[in-house]
Structure 1
């Protein structure tokens, strides 16, 4: 793998994930038993040793369910993530809070457990979740993590709080401005984390992103560096190099016809649901291109991004971009991995048909652990649970082990967090007058298994 990666855990079989670390992994402070005068002294562990001791699933076999196994691709795993019925498992309910941003946009925060279900201590760790392309808190891959993470400890869970950041227009969140979201725009997650930190100042915040949300999370952590309010991150099925991976979708007939078209259709349907809201901004580029976009029945993802996302997928500057490919180059997260300064776990499948280029070297970043499974598809990883015979997502196991480890075992110090203040009702961060948020009416109780009908789930 080159000189940048000197520690690769050697798999005993092809079904064991391959783990990649920097030559000299970061040392993390870990909690030690309280023993007299040594109570304030905390041992340091290298990131590879920290993970080896606390994430055993990353060092054991992942055996795909036999009827989803295919030797040359992850199509079956990915297809099951899209068409499988997960409505009867991992039931999660939320309280929704709507946040208005300075530009007039709206994002939705779905918190679980709901207030009427149980009350948690103010210092309970919080899992901050970013969903995929057109997903939301209802997605099965989100619930597969949050259901056990937020189950009480006495019932076998972690007992954490979960908060899903639903992007503009997704999962029933109203579209109140013509600006959309994208793989590279981080200000919405930034203000969401500011709001969460302000609401729960004693809680430890742990970030996890899926697919497009993993890309946003990676870029956010890289941009924040030592000022990150999230103390750890986990990126699942991140697209990383958007140029090369988009090119892989476009250059392969099957990928272009199935995946690129399905993702474009999801985005078209999402815009169609908000057509009336977009019509309130008749002079905006989004309103002018909307009829053409909605009427194109053969649009690919790159074509959609070339007409919509590269123009309105974030604030100006840097938007608009001349083309989808210029936007992809800017939005990619593989080159910023080196700037992350919190413990970070990346999980990808080698046979993912959507993400085919993986930056396992991570720029030599000592804070990054990169795990790659041979099988799993895109947001799949379905395997058989031996005890029950059920088909469930294997990836939930290492993610939960990671969340417990960084939520409970590490000691967080030397963070350079900027103070928050309120100006004209908007929560802002010192030194950033251009972004902010405030709560608005419209939040409600949300049942997580009630999804966005008509969309291809899991993409």
Structure 2
């Protein structure tokens, strides 16, 4: 990816915050979604939003699946930009929401987490079963770690479900990401932002399931490590935050991936230390690494004020569609 950040947005923090708040997201219409509610194997539910204001060009056109980041949704800036990319190219497009992220809290005694590869696998298998054409998937931040964790776990079987996968700005070393977001400016701005939505949802979960965790300790949590140690880890079968980060991180499993996979991380991402990123010798021949110098965390604005965030979806989407010969035929036809 030959990305160069605009001169008027210096540094990873500005390249993260400005695109999320002020940059343009689409060239066409804002995406309109049709929602499906799925019953999960454990009798809970999750919501899937399908792009509805653009019909696929062909019945067997590719389906692009997007897994959002921490506290994200189909209305996140990157999700709307990917939806615009899909609409422009006549693709089907779906955003499965992690539990509790679609505007309504899920019912079960759990939420979602960075290494939920079983949930990813179930979602993708269901999408594969109901879509005629090829399926490709991209995960952003938390969603990208979970997607890569699944791809590594699935190995050669992943090819029966999707043709290619990509992660964007994902903290594939969760311990390093937790340390980075818990310091200085990151702690003051990003940690505060996330906890502002995560704590009330957790407390509502406690009202659903009294005794599930220590509510007083959770409300006193000052960073994401403490939140994960009290809430995320024990609710999802981990001993503590350290055990969660070690077992859920995708980085140790990238060498097991056996389908085309793209791992994109900006070197100035405030959430993901460059030193924690894997080298080519750690990932295997199926994985492509993109390491642009700029872009921030899921930013990548172009140089035209107020900026546009389609640059990254265009390049990642094109990589996915060209990853296999069958994809290339669709792209040429489109």
8 Å CA contact 1:158–1:404 kept in 2: the answer is: no
Counterpart of 2:109 in 1: which secondary structure?
coil
The reply to whether residue 105 of structure 1 matches residue 28 of structure 2 is: no
> CA 1:299/1:259 → structure 2, altered by over 3 Å: closer, same or farther?
same
8 Å CA contact 2:217–2:230 kept in 1: the answer is: no
Report the CA distance between 1:171 and its aligned residue. 2.2
8 Å CA contact 2:24–2:307 kept in 1: the answer is: no
Report the CA distance between 1:278 and its aligned residue. 4.5
Structure 1 counterpart of 2:307, from 391, 394, 408: 391
Report the CA distance between 1:125 and its aligned residue. 0.5
Higher helix share: 2
Distance (Å, rounded) in 2 between the aligned partners of 1:203 and 1:170: 28
Q: Aligned-pair RMSD on alpha carbons?
A: 2.4
Determine the structure 2 residue equivalent to 1:279: 207
> CA 1:134/1:339 → structure 2, altered by over 3 Å: closer, same or farther?
same
Which whole-Å deviations, capped at 9, do the CAs of 1:60-99 have from their partners, x for residues lacking one?
Answer: 4x232222123xxx11111214433657766111111111
The reply to whether residue 262 of structure 1 matches residue 193 of structure 2 is: yes
Structure number with greater Rg is 1
Counterpart of 1:68 in 2: which secondary structure?
coil
Distance (Å, rounded) in 2 between the aligned partners of 1:290 and 1:94: 35
Determine the structure 2 residue equivalent to 1:436: none
8 Å CA contact 2:5–2:300 kept in 1: the answer is: yes
Determine the structure 2 residue equivalent to 1:329: 246
8 Å CA contact 1:265–1:299 kept in 2: the answer is: no
Distance (Å, rounded) in 1 between the aligned partners of 2:260 and 2:217: 44
8 Å CA contact 1:124–1:160 kept in 2: the answer is: yes
Structure 1 residues not aligned, in runs of 5+: 1-57, 152-156, 413-459
8 Å CA contact 1:125–1:407 kept in 2: the answer is: no
Paired residues in the alignment total: 323
8 Å CA contact 1:136–1:166 kept in 2: the answer is: yes
8 Å CA contact 2:115–2:249 kept in 1: the answer is: yes
8 Å CA contact 1:106–1:173 kept in 2: the answer is: no
Distance (Å, rounded) in 1 between the aligned partners of 2:184 and 2:56: 51
Distance (Å, rounded) in 1 between the aligned partners of 2:125 and 2:118: 10
Structure 2 residues not aligned, in runs of 5+: 330-334
Counterpart of 2:89 in 1: which secondary structure?
coil
TM-score between the two structures when normalised by the length of structure 2: 0.88
Determine the structure 1 residue equivalent to 2:321: 404
Distance (Å, rounded) in 2 between the aligned partners of 1:80 and 1:167: 25
Distance (Å, rounded) in 2 between the aligned partners of 1:300 and 1:364: 31
Higher strand share: 1
> CA 1:282/1:325 → structure 2, altered by over 3 Å: closer, same or farther?
same
Determine the structure 2 residue equivalent to 1:246: 178
